[in-house]
Homo-oligomer: A and B are copies of this chain.
Amino acid sequence: MPDTKSFHMSPEEFRRQGHAVVDWIADYMSRVESFPVLSRVQPGEVRSQLPASAPQKGEAFEQVIADVERVILPGITHWQSPNFFAYFPANASGPAILGDLLSSGLGVQGMLWSTSPACTELETHVLDWLVPALGLPEKFLSSSTGGGVIQDTASSASLCALLAARERATHFVSNRRGCDGKLVAYCSTQTHSSVEKAMKISGMGSDNLRLIDVDQSFAMRPELLARQIAADKKSSLIPCFVCATIGTTSSCAIDPVREIARICRDRDLWLHVDSAMSGTAALCPEFRFVHDGVEFADSYTFNPHKWMFTNFDCNCFYVADRKHLIQTLSVLPEYLRNQATESGAVIDYRDWHIQLGRRFRSLKLWFVIRHYGIEGLQHHIREHVRLAQQFVAWVRADSRFELAAPAKLNLVCFRLRSGDQANQKLMDRLNASGDLYLTHTKLDGKLILRFCIGQTNTEARHVERAWQRIQQETALLENS
């Protein structure tokens, strides 16, 4: 019995309302295809329906849920629709959502081992599980010199990799004295923008990021990388970091990691490999070629929250030698000292990323892996790739279209041969129809449509209908 007045939701009320929210989500899963994929609201439309001030008195929970339906839902772009083919997927699943729910319910802070040992140990364990499952090198295991950690996003993981590289190159002096504008980093013209952002954040400066040109497959040209490193050394600059990408954002290009690694090793540069979406493919032996050369990387990252049925946020970040990362990011104030940390027998993940506080994110990853098993994950990844390859065949067979890049996995880059304007119009009409959602990029200066298959529930019928709709709108465009 509470001994004072309480506004809290009691456990019994939580049980009742929790069932209602679960039911709402189950219903949402069932009806998600009935909504236009891309939200149709105008800027300000959602806000205009919300009261100007916070309520003074509490409201009934049923009222809040009614407003979710009335105000929020029309403002949602449905990333969980099987007709979502835009950007990269952010595919969720039942077990992931429930693992995350459990994390919220337990409400622990995993900043230190001692602040909830299970939070740290399950994370280490599940990330170790994924090393052989993805064909990653043993050095990434926590039982070796390295280890894995869950970060929020690949942006943060790449930033941490860059920082560790910066410190390794300066013998941990830049951490104390600050940067001096001499460190240089490398990626390709196709590398994700997060590396440029990380260069700014890290104080290394975006001018010191060299964008190496790519070949006709949009993969980094290693000979140009080697040449640029030599030129920078000649200018008394200090090359320290290369980001190679397995599956670029624009076109899913795969940089030649093995050759890049050789260059990095000979010159003592940190090699980071970003495989944010495509890393998941390596669960299937037939797609494991994507990880060729990763055994020479200093760090590696992929996002189960993209293509591995684990809801955002869940990025996996591995390092070959954890001491560089920890020495880069560790700060130990008195109020965080504790016996377990002093003993050296435990991992304190606060030293593995930017933040201090952290939630129990490994639960959802554990739930996903146990629910699907490796077999189930493989099945659905294979199916997505198969559907994408079918889409490729249709594009090839239609003379109005052309493929704009090799499509080895689940992303198809294609375009109408009739020019940028036609492609823009086609995309806008398709997205406005609400039947599907796809986005664009530019390759070789041309506007390209990206069709990415990875939403959890995307099946053959969704891809078939999408292709029909693309053909229909193309015909209408040609006749207009």
Contact = CB atoms under 8 A, between A and B. Distances in A.
Nearest to A305: B357
Contact of A370 (B55, B74, B91, B459): B55
Contacts of A206: 175-176
Contact of A118 (B41, B92, B176, B377): B41
Given A156-B354, A379-B7, A25 B14 contact: yes
A18 B93 CA distance: 12
A373 B56 contact: yes
A13 to B, nearest CB: 7
Given A64-B367, A77-B108, A105-B25, A331 B92 contact: no
Chain A interface residue bracket vs B: 35 or more
A121 B178 contact: no
B207 A178 contact: yes
Given A163-B201, A193-B331, A371-B59, A11 B24 contact: no
Interface stretch (A127-135, A215-223, A224-232): A127-135
A202 interface: yes
A196 interface: yes
Interface string A83-106: 000010011111111101110111
A442 to B, nearest CB: 5
A153 B358 CA distance: 9
A370 to B, nearest CB: 5
A282 to B, nearest CB: 13
A64 to B, nearest CB: 5
Interface in A191-215: 192-194, 196-197, 199-208
Number of copies: 2
A18 B22 contact: yes
A27 to B, nearest CB: 7
A375 B14 contact: no
Contacts of A10: 94
B181 A178 contact: yes
A381 to B, nearest CB: 11
A477 interface: no
Contact of A107 (B2, B7, B79, B152): B79
Nearest to A428: B339
A418 interface: no
Interface stretch (A45-53, A258-266, A288-296): A45-53
B354 A159 contact: yes
Contacts of A421: none
A203 B174 contact: yes
A124 interface: yes
A345 interface: yes
A47 B124 contact: yes
A333 B249 contact: yes
B94 A14 contact: yes
A97 B153 CA distance: 22
A8 interface: yes
Interface string A445-480: 000001000001101110000000000000000000
A12 interface: yes
B373 A106 contact: no
Contact of A26 (B14, B166, B249): B14
Contact of A152 (B30, B355, B367): B355
Interface stretch (A109-117, A389-397, A398-406): A109-117
Nearest to A383: B4
A359 interface: yes
22 contacts: A3-B460, A4-B460, A7-B377, A7-B379, A25-B101, A54-B130, A54-B373, A55-B369, A55-B370, A75-B118, A80-B107, A107-B311, A155-B355, A175-B200, A178-B204, A192-B333, A193-B332, A197-B356, A200-B329, A201-B201, A249-B335, A313-B359
Given A17-B94, A76-B108, A101-B104, 12 more contacts: A43-B117, A46-B125, A77-B116, A100-B100, A155-B355, A155-B357, A163-B200, A178-B203, A180-B180, A197-B331, A201-B354, A335-B440
**Interface pairs A-B: 3 shortest CB-CB:** A203-B203, A75-B118, A178-B205
